[in-house]
């Protein structure tokens, strides 16, 4: 178990916000192992979690690194040298040097969401925020890194060669929002260097769009007290969660009227899921059509009606074969993209 280090009551230099998805437990374990005992930052970790599943991540990190790690609790004060881990079905956010656990709308289908954590860190800590994006699929966290960078914070990704699932780091690199890329085990050494730098505080213009999204994330699960029209123009797309209209908050960033947030990549994946579900429904209907057509054919004597039923059954069986092949290919493709 990690020992209580002497820095818990020392001066806090800022906050380190860490996000991970598929392959994230391994990456986070390596990161925790390499952290220095006198780390002058509070560390907040959001890993994509199923809403009903218990999480043992805090215990894993506490056992494998020098810093104490625990599940985040609402309202707890941020202190340096301590790791706080998001709990299932709650966004992990920060405000006024305290933790907020929120039931706000899902982002990219996730709660906790990485973008939500990074955005709140950017607004609360500005140049004293460090965002770290580790292994994962799709692009959750990329917009959050951009938010941290826009407030003069520092952004880091796990080197793609070091990540089990490099999509999230690669997407961040391609978006041009990354200051450093390192192996997970070397994050601690980088943080030690960043802690020694001089930080220039400067006046920042308010970012109304970022602040609005942060308020939405901090809201209740079904809160609709925000002005949806202030999010941006209608995108022409619909929300996979509620089928409501999606607004274009920024390029490749969408929200619906009740607050569900989607990036373009996550929205595209959701459409793939919808298509696959529709194909499964079609496959079931076709199999029932085959069974019913052959039963009706057996109930009538030879003739035109019998031939018609057999023809319908044969057509449906051919369609079943085509759809079955398509679904097998889709299932094989999804098997390699699982979330963590």
pLDDT per residue rounded down to tens, the chain (340 residues): 454 443 444 589 999 999 999 999 999 999 999 999 999 999 999 999 888 878 899 999 999 999 999 999 999 999 999 999 999 999 999 999 999 999 999 999 999 999 999 999 999 999 999 999 999 999 999 999 999 999 999 999 999 999 999 999 999 999 999 999 999 999 999 999 999 998 888 888 889 999 999 999 998 776 666 777 788 999 999 999 999 999 999 988 999 989 999 999 999 999 988 888 888 888 889 889 999 999 999 999 889 999 999 999 999 999 888 888 877 776 665 444 434 4
Please, how many CA atoms are within 13 Å of residue 142, restricted to the half-sphere of its CB? 25
Closest C-alpha to 152, from 179, 182, 185: 179
Give the angle 224-230-234 at the CA atoms, nearest 5°.
95
Are 98 and 132 in contact by the 8 Å Cβ rule? The answer is no
| Catalytically active residues, by annotation | 21, 48, 140
Residue 219 Ramachandran class (φ > 0 left, ψ -120 to 50 alpha, else beta): beta
**CATH code for residues 14-195:** 3.40.50.180
3 state DSSP class of 246: strand
Length of the chain: 340
For helices 114-125 and 142-150, angle between their N-to-C axes, nearest 10 degrees: 10
Residue-level pLDDT at 4: 40
pTM for the predicted model, two decimal places: 0.83
CA–chain centroid gap for 32, Å, is: 20
Element (H, E) at 210: helix 208-218
- Distance between CA atoms of 82 and 3, rounded to whole angstroms? 10
Closest C-alpha to 110, from 138, 149, 152: 138
Closest C-alpha to 142, from 54, 31, 262, 229: 262
Alpha helices in 137-178 (DSSP H): 142-150, 167-175
Pairing of strands 234-238, 180-182: unpaired
Burial class (CB in 10 A: 0-12, 13-18, 19+), 241: middle
- Distance between CA atoms of 261 and 235, rounded to whole angstroms? 13
3 state DSSP class of 45: strand
Q: Which two tokens stand for residue 159?
A: 């080197």
């Amino acid at each position: 178990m990690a020992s209580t280090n002497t820095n818990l009551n020392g001066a806090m230099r800022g906050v380190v916000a860490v996000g991970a998805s598929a392959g994230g437990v391994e990456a986070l374990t390596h990161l925790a192992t390499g952290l220095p005992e006198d780390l002058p930052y509070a560390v907040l970790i959001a890993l994509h979690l199923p809403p009903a599943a218990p999480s043992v991540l805090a215990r894993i990190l506490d056992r494998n690194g020098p810093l104490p790690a625990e599940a985040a609790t609402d309202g707890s004060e941020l202190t340096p040298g301590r790791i706080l881990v998001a709990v299932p079905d709650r966004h992990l956010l920060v405000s006024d040097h305290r933790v907020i656990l929120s039931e706000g709308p899902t982002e990219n289908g996730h709660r906790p969401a990485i973008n939500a954590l990074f955005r709140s860190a950017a607004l609360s800590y500005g140049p004293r925020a460090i965002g770290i994006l580790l292994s994962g699929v799709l692009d959750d966290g990329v917009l959050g890194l951009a938010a941290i960078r826009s407030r003069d914070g520092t952004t880091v990704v796990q080197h793609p060669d070091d990540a089990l699932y490099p999509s999230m780091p690669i997407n961040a690199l391609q978006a041009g929002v990354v200051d450093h890329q390192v192996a997970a085990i070397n994050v601690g050494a980088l943080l030690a260097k960043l802690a020694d730098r001089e930080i220039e505080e400067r006046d920042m213009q308010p970012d109304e769009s970022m602040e609005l999204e942060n308020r939405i994330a901090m809201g209740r699960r079904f809160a609709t007290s925000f002005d949806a029209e202030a999010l941006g123009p209608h995108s022409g797309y619909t929300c996979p969660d509620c089928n409501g209209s999606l607004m274009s908050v920024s390029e490749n960033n969408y929200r619906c009227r009740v607050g569900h947030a989607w990036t373009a990549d996550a929205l595209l994946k959701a459409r793939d899921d919808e298509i696959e579900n529709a194909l499964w429904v079609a496959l079931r209907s076709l199999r029932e059509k085959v069974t019913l057509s052959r039963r009706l054919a057996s109930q009538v004597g030879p003739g035109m009606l019998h031939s018609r039923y057999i023809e319908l059954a044969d057509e449906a069986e051919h369609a079943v074969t085509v759809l079955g092949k398509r679904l097998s290919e889709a299932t094989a493709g999804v098997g390699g993209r699982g979330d963590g």
